[in-house]
């Protein structure tokens, strides 16, 4: 299943979010360290992917992105991902206690 992630670096998250209250994106992740960095995530069916790409590239959306970029610190970045399955499905690799002596980090 294709996934598209829009990474958006904002001047002010609260001002940006007001624009989407009536029609919010499917999933929004907000940065923990940078509260003005937003990831909008959409899972698509294979048949939707091309339509969404065309919509993003449409004149209408390019005009929207120009307006949105006024409240951003950088242009919106789109990342397209393809699901490859669960690499370790059904296999226990190794349990690690993070922060424990001798553990990771």
Q: Which two tokens stand for residue 97?
A: 């206690």
Which of 3.40.50.720, 3.30.70.100, 3.40.630.30, 3.40.190.10 would CATH assign to domain 2-82?
A: 3.30.70.100
> Distance between CA 47 and CA 44 in Å, rounded?
8
Tell me, what DSSP letter sits at residue 10? Answer: B
Q: What is the pLDDT of residues 39-66, one digit of tens each?
A: 989 888 888 988 988 988 899 888 888 8
> Distance between CA 65 and CA 38 in Å, rounded?
15
Q: What is the pLDDT of residues 7-36, one digit of tens each?
A: 989 999 888 888 777 767 778 899 999 999
pTM of the model: 0.67
What pLDDT is recorded for position 24?
72
What pLDDT is recorded for position 85?
67
> Distance between CA 36 and CA 55 in Å, rounded?
25
Task: Name the one residue in this structure whose structure tokens are 């990771």.
Answer: 104
For 38, other C-beta atoms within 10 Å of its C-beta total 21
What pLDDT is recorded for position 62?
85
The C-alpha torsion from 11 through 35 and 1 to 62, rounded to 10°, is: 0
């Amino acid at each position: 299943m294709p996934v598209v992630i829009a990474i958006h670096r904002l001047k002010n998250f609260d001002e940006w979010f007001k624009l989407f209250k009536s029609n919010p994106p499917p999933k929004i992740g907000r940065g923990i360290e940078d509260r003005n960095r937003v990831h909008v995530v959409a899972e698509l069916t294979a048949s939707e992917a091309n339509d969404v790409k065309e919509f993003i590239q449409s004149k209408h959306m390019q005009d929207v992105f120009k307006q949105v970029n006024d409240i951003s610190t950088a242009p919106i970045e789109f990342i397209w991902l393809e699901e490859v399955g669960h690499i370790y499905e059904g296999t226990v690799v190794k349990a690690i206690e993070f922060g424990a002596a001798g553990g990771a980090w």
